[in-house]
A and B are shown apart, each in its own frame.
Chain A
Amino acid sequence: MAKQVYFEDVEVGTEVSPLVKHPTPRQLVMWAGASGDYNEIHYNKEAALQEKLPDIIVHGRLKNSFLCQMMTDWIGEGGFLKKITIQHRGMDIPGKDITCKGKVMKKYVQEGKNYVECEIWTENSQGQKTAPATAVVMLPSRG
């Protein structure tokens, strides 16, 4: 695990440590089982083609979880993910990498707690932002 990041270590423009995921059809099956989303467009190619999709596509909620993972990895055990807001704007196909990225937009103290707001997103292999999002985290102080 990376060392703890503190409120004092970040400023506007600081990049969130990126996370690269390599979704496979097998992962989509595991996600279907773990999350309860058995929509066939995610594991049955014929069903996907019938919905006018080019191939089976990655579940939106799995991308949400990738973004959550990027944040929890970055904030470490001392941090707390307060809020995450996600839109789905594009498809991701398994077999293509998804890169989660982000940067700090604001930092402030409110009622004694340290907040950091980030703009984050998933990016497909063509550099398109398929899930634009924002995340608010709480970070500990060095004290």
Chain B
Amino acid sequence: MAVITEEMRKKAIGVETKPIILEVEKGMIRKFAEAVGDPNPLWLDEAYAKKNRFKNIVAPPGLFHSVTFYGVRPELPFELPVKRRLDGGGDWEYFLPVTAGEKLTLVNRISDLREREGKEGPMVFITYETDWRNEKSELVARAHSTTIFR
């Protein structure tokens, strides 16, 4: 039995958060790199960073896959009857390098909402589009990430 009506779908798509400020910090990058086990000097070595074309510690692309890089989710205008969450994958596009010390502004919006019948009941796929902009309002990254609720 379907849990998402076409009306619910239309209400949800386009819902977006207010802009959220995110400060990209050296410490955050280091903690991330250590958790992944990625010793790339681009993210960890300040002396090395000053001599390369970026001039500063670079934010690794994986950082845009961290939950903390998304701020809050846009709120659905209704409650879902299925609560368990699964990572439904996604795509991440990068436009400009980001370095430590930059202040990014992000916005999350619901870009798609679909339902499928799974083995154990209805599965709702919500796709969030997230845009990150730098202080010059240039788009530095855009992600479409899907969460599966079941």
Contact = CB atoms under 8 A, between A and B. Distances in A.
A12 to B, nearest CB: 22
A80 to B, nearest CB: 7
Contacts of B87: 59-61, 88
A84 B28 CA distance: 22
Given A72-B42, A81-B61, 14 more contacts: A33-B31, A34-B34, A51-B84, A60-B87, A62-B36, A64-B62, A69-B38, A71-B61, A72-B38, A72-B61, A81-B94, A82-B93, A83-B91, A85-B90
Interface residues of A, number: 35
A109 interface: no
B149 interface: no
Given A72-B61, A81-B94, A88 B66 contact: no
Contacts of B41: 1
Interface in A38-57: 39, 51
A68 B67 contact: no
B65 A61 contact: yes
B74 interface: no
A31 interface: yes
Interface of A: 1, 21, 27, 30-31, 33-37, 39, 51, 59-62, 64-66, 68-69, 71-73, 77, 80-88, 131
A77 B43 CA distance: 11
Given A72-B60, A84-B91, A88-B87, A30 B34 contact: yes
Chain B interface size band reads: 20 to 34
A96 to B, nearest CB: 15
Nearest to B54: A77
Contacts of A21: 37
Interface centre among B52, B62, B86 (most CB of A within 10 A): B62
Contacts of B91: 83-86
Contacts of B38: 65, 69, 72
Contact of B65 (A51, A64, A72, A82): A64
Nearest to A136: B93
Given A51-B84, A72-B60, A83 B36 contact: no
Interface centre among B38, B61, B84 (most CB of A within 10 A): B61
